[in-house]
């Protein structure tokens, strides 16, 4: 298989004897340590076609790597073939049609820089080094989602290499079933090589609220935040969490490492109009620090990057909630107090708005009616904490399950073994339809064993 790839591809083929092998198999999550047989680092779509054809002949386990940022590490597999798109980067913006064509190895930082040249943006991740491909295929939560929908809702088309080696364009007019599946259905459909997004006027600066409150007031603050979030306009996506911030220069030294309640929101519109919308986030209690400011959009999107470093150890789980009850808040705060590492956090994001205005069956994304997403983010640097951190995330998820809808957000789902067990929770009533589409385009299950596929 390795020789066949080297004979047919223009890009680099990295086997286990290659000096760059260990670096090439690394992904963002340092907890992931998988050893594929070979990594096919594709230079272009033609290389992807060749890699798929070799996979059809040799039938290895196949995974597809885009930005390599997915917490479950689904871009790399053990003892199989990694179709690596990380060298396929680039963003082409058409300011007249307000669209962008984005190659599958691109990160959201690249997209934001390119689109902001024209005062345009689309819904992307809250950490800018996140890959475009994985985030979009799994749905795509982000600061703009209540105003303009999820990342997948902003898709106009995708280019995809299916299991037969054919290059197809999927859109509302071409292969609409495949396009439906690509919008929130996750992996396992083929290899998406590029995405075409709708863009919206925003920037170059945005107004944001970031306020830190005393941890001792956590339950009261969460209740006050919930009441605001339920009434907030669609121009903001309010967030709240509990976190111990690292020693950043903009935070007073006496607060370094101190557990605090954080509220956050970015106004999606003219900063001059932001104050009436964001001011309530600054009045939930007596702030310890108020870092609210108007900043360049690209800075707002990348502000959290240093707090989730490449090579850190991550295990995340999530719930969707129809309501955030007082009892759920009490359990959340009690569980957070048990977390074994200061880097870990629990965060609640407000949904609704444009997400809920799209029909339940219009895309494969299955959680449009939920009001909140609750993410349990176990993060730690020390391998000796692996067991304790993972146990905390799992037990916290279990404790909060009685308050949840039963749905799970694919992009925040643990490790591969969790995702495999969560097909119905991720896809909801769309599981059967998505299975039928996969059987049409991949009847032999070439991508069926891809790491992390629901």
More confident of the two residues 397 and 454: 397
Residue ranges of the alpha helices (H) in 323-385? 326-336
| Residues 205-223: tens digit of each pLDDT | 999 999 999 999 999 999 9
- Whether residue 197 contacts residue 169, with contact meaning beta carbons closer than 8 Å, is answered with no
The class (CATH top level) of 205-420 is alpha beta
According to the model, what pLDDT value does residue 254 have? 85
According to the model, what pLDDT value does residue 255 have? 85
| Residues 177-198: tens digit of each pLDDT | 999 999 999 878 899 999 999 9
pLDDT at 153 over 60: yes
Residues 6+ apart with CB under 8 A from 338: 392, 395, 396
What CA–CA distances, in Å, run from 187 to 133, 144, 181?
10, 24, 9
User: How far, in Å, CA of 82 to CA of 80, rounded?
Assistant: 7
| Residues 65-93: tens digit of each pLDDT | 999 998 999 999 999 999 999 999 999 99
CA dihedral angle for residue 197, residue 199, residue 202, residue 205, rounded to 10 degrees: 40
Q: Closest by alpha carbon to 1, among 44, 62, 46?
A: 62
User: How far, in Å, CA of 450 to CA of 438, rounded?
Assistant: 13
**Angle at alpha carbon of residue 364, lines to 71 and 66, rounded to 5°:** 35
Using a pLDDT cut of 90, give the percent of the chain over it.
Answer: 89
- Whether residue 63 contacts residue 83, with contact meaning beta carbons closer than 8 Å, is answered with yes
Q: What is the per-residue burial (b if ≥16 Cβ within 10 Å, else e) of 259-290?
A: bbbbbbbbbbbebeebeebbebbbebbebbbe
According to the model, what pLDDT value does residue 451 have? 39
pLDDT at 31 over 50: yes
Q: Closest by alpha carbon to 434, among 30, 85, 138, 38?
A: 138
In the chain, where are the structural domains located?
2-84, 91-202, 205-420
| Residues 336-368: tens digit of each pLDDT | 999 999 999 999 999 999 999 999 999 999 999
| Residue 110 host element (H or E) | helix 108-116
User: How far, in Å, CA of 412 to CA of 315, rounded?
Assistant: 9
User: How far, in Å, CA of 401 to CA of 422, rounded?
Assistant: 14
Q: Closest by alpha carbon to 114, among 102, 123, 130, 97?
A: 102
According to the model, what pLDDT value does residue 452 have? 39
Q: Which CATH number fits domain 2-84: 3.30.1370.60, 3.10.690.10, 3.40.30.10, 3.30.43.10?
A: 3.30.43.10
For residue 438 the two structure tokens come to 């996969």
Q: What is the per-residue burial (b if ≥16 Cβ within 10 Å, else e) of 86-107?
A: bebeebebeeeebbbbbbbbbb
Q: Closest by alpha carbon to 102, among 112, 94, 92?
A: 92
| Residues 390-440: tens digit of each pLDDT | 999 999 999 999 999 999 998 987 665 455 556 788 888 999 999 999 999
According to the model, what pLDDT value does residue 421 have? 55
pLDDT tier, 94 (very low <50, low <70, confident <90, very high otherwise): very high
Fold of the domain spanning 91-202: 3.30.465
According to the model, what pLDDT value does residue 265 have? 98
Mean pLDDT to the nearest integer, 22-40: 97
């Amino acid at each position: 298989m390795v020789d066949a790839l080297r004979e047919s591809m223009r890009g680099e083929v990295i086997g286990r004897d290659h000096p760059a092998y260990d670096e090439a198999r690394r992904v963002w999550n340092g907890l992931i340590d998988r050893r594929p047989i070979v990594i096919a680092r594709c230079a272009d779509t033609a290389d992807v076609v060749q890699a798929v054809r070799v996979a059809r002949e040799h039938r290895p386990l196949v995974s597809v790597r885009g930005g390599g940022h997915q917490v479950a590490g689904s871009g790399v597999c053990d003892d199989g073939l990694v179709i690596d798109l990380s060298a396929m980067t680039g963003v082409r913006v058409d300011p007249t049609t307000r669209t962008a064509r984005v190659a599958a190895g691109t990160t959201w930082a690249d997209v934001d820089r390119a689109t902001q040249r024209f005062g345009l943006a689309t819904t992307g991740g809250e950490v800018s080094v996140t890959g475009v491909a994985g985030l979009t295929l799994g749905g795509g939560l982000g600061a703009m989602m209540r105003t303009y929908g999820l990342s997948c809702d902003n898709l106009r088309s995708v280019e995809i290499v299916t299991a037969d080696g054919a290059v197809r364009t999927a859109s509302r007019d071409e292969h609409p079933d495949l396009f439906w599946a690509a919008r929130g259905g996750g992996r396992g459909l083929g290899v998406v090589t590029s995405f075409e997004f709708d863009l919206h006027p925003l920037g170059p600066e945005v107004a944001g609220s970031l306020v830190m409150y005393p941890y001792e007031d956590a339950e009261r603050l969460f209740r006050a935040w919930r009441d605001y979030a339920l009434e907030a306009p669609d121009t903001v996506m309010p967030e709240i969490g509990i976190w111990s911030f690292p020693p950043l220069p903009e935070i007073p030294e006496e607060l370094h490492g101190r557990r605090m309640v954080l509220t956050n929101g970015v106004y999606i519109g003219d900063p001059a109009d932001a104050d009436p919308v964001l001011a309530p986030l600054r009045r939930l209690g007596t702030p310890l620090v108020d870092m609210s400011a108007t900043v360049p959009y690209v800075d707002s999107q990348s502000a959290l990057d240093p707090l989730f470093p490449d090579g850190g150890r991550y295990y995340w789980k999530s719930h969707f909630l129809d309501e955030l009850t007082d009892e759920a808040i009490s359990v959340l705060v009690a569980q957070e107090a048990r977390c074994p590492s200061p880097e870990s956090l629990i965060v609640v994001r407000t949904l609704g708005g444009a997400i809920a205005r799209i029909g339940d069956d219009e895309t494969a994304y299955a959680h449009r009616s939920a009001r909140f997403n609750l993410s349990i983010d176990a993060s730690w640097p020390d391998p000796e904490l692996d067991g304790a951190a993972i146990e905390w995330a799992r037990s916290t998820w279990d404790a909060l399950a009685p308050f949840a809808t039963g749905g799970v957000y694919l992009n925040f789902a643990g490790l591969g073994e969790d995702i495999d067990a969560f097909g119905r929770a991720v896809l909801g009533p769309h599981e059967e339809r998505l299975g039928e589409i996969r059987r049409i385009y991949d009847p032999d299950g070439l991508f069926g064993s891809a790491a992390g596929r629901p």
